[in-house]
Structure 1
Amino acid sequence: MDNDFLSLLYKRPVYGINIPSNKVISEWALSVIRFLYPDNLPEQKNTFQLKEEVNKLEEALGEIIAANCKEKNISCRETAVHFFNQLPTLYEILNTDIQAIFNGDPAAASEFEVIRTYPGFYAICFYRIANILSLSNVPLVPRILTEHAHSKTGIDIHPAATIGAFFHIDHGTGIVIGETTKIGKHVKLYQGVTLGALSVRKNLAGSKRHPTVEDYVIIYSGATILGGETVIGHNSVIGGNVWITESILPYSTAYHSPIIKVRNINETNEI
């Protein structure tokens, strides 16, 4: 190998010093989810045992974010404690998501089926964990968590997005929810929905670039909604494959009208 190239590699910047692997970080989040929703209860654990589990998870989180604590001037210990102080709220809102998915999908046989098998709930769990860390200004880790879920489910939710309770993702593959998206309560998204920006210019970083979706909105598969000033009014229904870049009023219905032509049998030899 060329010595000049080796010299270049020797001088290359080192990124992420002491940051645990993505696998370690994602497995920590899975441990949190399994703590909240255990697969089985071979023995009923007492309060002391549950507290011990929380302490271990809390300590592990402190170690995960330790690499960047000084860089961001945050306390690893305080941040980890803050996250687990939010655990009751996390559990409460995840339960609303489970209920929304179970009630909104005739194919769901049980809430346990939603927890164990639904990719939408998997992505929502990772998003909600990442969102708490993002609001605490934890660097990198929130994005690692949501990108893990993205790689597993095909659902891309930025950890800084704001999403209300009773969130239902049905099927889910191909969904994109951008960084400054705001989603209200009781919103249902189908596969292939994009809540994105009209422009990806770098100088727009930090501005409201993604749409707002108010309460009780259903957005069907393939719909694209773009722009930070775009607001989908509450109780609206957005049909499949619709392209929206302007706000619509509450109780609206927006749909794509296909052109249908019935051919004369004499116009083609193909059946």
Structure 2
Amino acid sequence: MTDDQAMTSDEAEAGAIGAASWNLDALASGLQAARDDWRRSRQRDVGNGEAPFPSRRVVAAIRDDLAGALFPLRLGTGGVRPDNESAYVRETLDRALTGLAEQVRLELIHQRRGVGNDAGAAARAIVAAFAQRLPGIRRLIDSDVTAAYVGDPAARSVDEILLCYPFVTAMVCHRPAHALYELGAPLVARMLAEIAHSETAIDIHPGARIGGSFFIDHGSGVVIGETAIIGERVRIYQAVTLGARSFPTDEDGALTKGIARHPIVEDDVVIYAGATILGRVTIGAGSVIGGNVWLTQDVPPRSVIHQAFAEREKVKTCIVPAGHVVSEPARDDA
């Protein structure tokens, strides 16, 4: 008996033992029943006619191709040189956009709960419009990389930033994801965003509008909500949250979707580590938000907000004009 025959025999024996031990037929039937119950509760087709959903693995491969097409010499396959980068970009873009059109088509089928409309044509139109935005997306990410180089004394070169900084991974996903979100493919956009989230611990909803020259230093734990608006030249440090303060419900108690509920951060704002800003508040241009500050109200332009001096677990927060910091200790007789 050859080694291959022995291996096949061993695998067959192991499979037989597994099937007997786990009662696979009963498990498969139970899981089928659970799926059918779920689909009926969501008014989904429990037959064989439902199209597959977009694939996160496929979207991840598309993201890699888009990154390579945007930055071929740095984020490409490794064999790209100046003399062949244009050919590489054309080939990679063709593969990425063709694959993206199929994933968007699957999303549109599920959005419409049927195939009566021509989802393929609609998907191709979305991806064609997306493709036209790619040069602008590249320029926006260039501005982000430049902001990181200017703003981080540890950065030795823009190449180091492109190759190493997690915020670049986040923005290479967010900038295309935001375009897809605006163009009508929010599920594929969200998949792109969550791929970056899982790789970097930076959680940016694809609906968030972010201006140029944006920089997230370090990055871990940053959360930026769906309706957040961020201006130009904004810098954010790790563990910053731009979140919602409350979640209105309708008369049936269901959450109201799509309302503006996240902060507006105007131009030239710096938000230091651990700050939490909640609700539809506006952080005025040129302001500085100190570390660990909790904000639920508007901040005038050119303000400086620091966590006040804390004594015996009593804290007061002071909002003062730029260039002035006031810390007032709590008093026992206050």
TM-score by length of 2: 0.72
Higher deviation after alignment, 50-59 or 73-82: 50-59
Alignment correspondent of 2:322: none
- The alignment's C-alpha RMSD in Å is 2.3
Alignment correspondent of 1:268: none
Instruction: Select the residue among 93, 104, 108 that pairs with 1:69.
Output: 108
CA contact (8 A) 2:293 2:307 kept: yes
| Larger RCO (alpha carbons 8 Å, 6+ apart) | 1
Unaligned runs of 5+ in 1: 262-271
Instruction: Select the residue among 270, 287, 290 that pairs with 1:218.
Output: 270
Shift of 1:48: 5.8
Letter in 1 for 2:59: I
Alignment correspondent of 1:232: 283
Alignment correspondent of 1:138: 185
CA separation of 1:3 and 1:150: change in aligned 2, threshold 3 A: closer
Shift of 1:3: 9.5
CA separation of 1:48 and 1:156: change in aligned 2, threshold 3 A: closer
Instruction: Select the residue among 257, 263, 270 that pairs with 1:205.
Output: 257
Is the aligned partner of 1:31 residue 2:51?
no
Shift of 1:87: 0.7
Shift of 1:4: 8.1
Between Structure 1 and Structure 2, whose CA radius of gyration is higher? 2
| Count of residues paired in the alignment | 260
- 1:165-204 to structure 2, matched below 5 A, reads 165-202=212-249, 203-204=255-256
Unaligned runs of 5+ in 2: 1-25, 250-254, 313-334
Cα-to-partner distance string for 1:34-76 (whole Å, 9 max, x where unaligned): 1111235335127566434322222111112121224356611
Q: For 1:160, what is the secondary structure of its paired residue?
A: coil
Alignment correspondent of 1:53: 92
- Percent identical among aligned pairs is 38
Instruction: Select the residue among 294, 297, 311 that pairs with 1:246.
Output: 297
Question: 2: distance between equivalents of 1:89 and 1:6?
Answer: 47
Shift of 1:210: 0.4
Letter in 2 for 1:204: T
Question: 2: distance between equivalents of 1:110 and 1:19?
Answer: 41
CA contact (8 A) 1:29 1:129 kept: no
Shift of 1:17: 3.6
Q: For 1:172, what is the secondary structure of its paired residue?
A: coil
